[in-house]
Amino acid sequence: MSTAPWSELPYDLLGMLRLRIASPRDRVRFAAVCKPWRAAALLLPAPPAAPLLLLSPRGRSGMKHLCGPNDSWVLRVPKKALYKQFLGSHDGGWVAAVNYDGLMIVNLFSGAEVVLSADQTTKLASICSPKPLPFHCVGHSIWKIVFSGDPASSDGCTLAVLMGDQAHVAVCRVGCPNGEWAVQAWHGESIQDIAFCNGDLYGLTLGSESLIKFEISMKLQEQEDGGMAPVLTTMAHKLAIQRRDVPTWEHDFRAYFAYIFELHGEPAMAVRTRWPANREPIFRVFKLSAAADGVSEHRWAEVTSLGDYALFLGVAWSKAVHLPMDAGRCVAREGLERNHIYYSTPTRSEEDKLPGDQVYSVTSEDGHRMYCRKDQSVGDSVGRTGYHMMGWHYSAMWLLPPDF
């Protein structure tokens, strides 16, 4: 009895196989097996992509390491994005790339570029820094860049930039031929993080964990030539939030950092701290809830389970990702775990020795070591996987690639 060749496998079986391939690299290999498999890859629904950690987003090398929970590989950066620093990303492989010449939005996987206006491209650096900066200092004038939506969509999106002084936020509308930057100052505590949640822009302050809402509107304004052009305007106000009781062991500001992201359509916050003292950093998650003090409208209520979500935390990109279930397992995201936090952190290790319990380790293109390790339980229900940068204090960046 003869068996059918691999090239004649039915489409439904090929679809089941493809849905269980987590790595974008392996999905490309799937399509390269033979013509029938390539045709099936084009016709079958694309499985959802899993977030990857991009090492050295501020390095000058044209080869970048991408890391997942179980593996890592190398990506060749499109030529137009060479010698630029990646300071923000959006679903589908889009990054905001900056150098002393200005800003561009480029897809690291396809090489596609979203066209910005001349002012949007060239004026960001001068807005964020009063004088020209060398390459290695460009990122210091910009803390983070976030997208309100798909930059390549016909509706466009809003870009928001948290400047390096953490006291100013600049916004622009992608897709406006004559679009310019609108700058909003915040006089108070430093803004540690910004994010779009359900279409609105929020900022999270350092220490007090206050939430600032930025009102962004578009109005027509008369130009020097007598014509009318759309112009962005911004306003900012602080939400009334009851300050949470912070345990004494959370006051270690060497480990403290707060991230803001969207969870179930509402702003949420993850706090990196030490628990107990003198241990490696851990994360606690909070969501906005109704306050009970009769004065504030909201309070930060702790989240003890993420349910069907996994949380990816980073300085340039933080996101709660829904992991759909099929027969009790994650579809097309093997290696990822629900109710889990994935993060990266610099670490100091004598002579760059590996801890011995790492999942894998890599050496980045600029010669520094990174290892992935599943953290030990600290007594709560949320799991954690850390990507530890040995002896190196740059920030890696999460990137959600296209659905291959």
DSSP 102-171: EEEEEETTT--EE---HHHHHHHHHHH-SS---HHHHGGGEEEEEESS-TTSTT--EEEEEETTSSEEEE
Question: What value does the mean pLDDT take over residues 93-105?
Answer: 90
Distance CA 248, CA 366 (A): 39
Question: What value does the mean pLDDT take over residues 94-98?
Answer: 94
Q: Which residues of 252-280 are buried (b: 16+ CB within 10 A; e: fewer)?
A: eeebbbbbbbbbeeebbbbbbbbbeeeeb
* Nearest partner of 385 among 341, 347, 345, 355, judged by Cα: 341
Residue spans per domain, the chain? 1-47, 48-399
290-317: pLDDT as tens digits: 887 777 888 899 998 899 999 999 989 9
pLDDT value, residue 279 = 64
pLDDT value, residue 228 = 45
Distance CA 89, CA 195 (A): 12
Tokens standing for 45?
A: 């629904």
Q: Is the pLDDT of residue 252 over 70?
A: no
Residue 229, Cβ density class (10 Å: 0-12 exposed, 13-18 middle, ≥19 buried): middle
Question: What value does the mean pLDDT take over residues 70-92?
Answer: 89
Residue 205: enclosing H or E segment and its boundaries?
Answer: strand 200-205
What is the DSSP secondary structure assignment for residue 13, as one 8-state letter?
Answer: H
Q: Is the pLDDT of residue 95 over 90?
A: yes
Tokens standing for 118?
A: 């001349």
Q: What percent of the chain has pLDDT over 70?
A: 82
Considering only residues 17 and 212, tell me which one the structure prediction assigns the higher pLDDT.
212
Question: What value does the mean pLDDT take over residues 323-339?
Answer: 65
pLDDT value, residue 319 = 95
Provide the mean pLDDT of the chain. Answer: 81
Considering only residues 376 and 62, tell me which one the structure prediction assigns the higher pLDDT.
62
339-372: pLDDT as tens digits: 999 998 877 665 567 878 888 888 876 677 888 8
Considering only residues 225 and 153, tell me which one the structure prediction assigns the higher pLDDT.
153
Question: What value does the mean pLDDT take over residues 20-48?
Answer: 76
Q: Is the pLDDT of residue 212 over 80?
A: yes
Question: What value does the mean pLDDT take over residues 224-235?
Answer: 65
Full-model pTM: 0.87
pLDDT value, residue 13 = 82
What is the DSSP secondary structure assignment for residue 310, as one 8-state letter?
Answer: E
User: Within 10 Å of residue 203's Cβ, how many Cβ atoms?
Assistant: 25
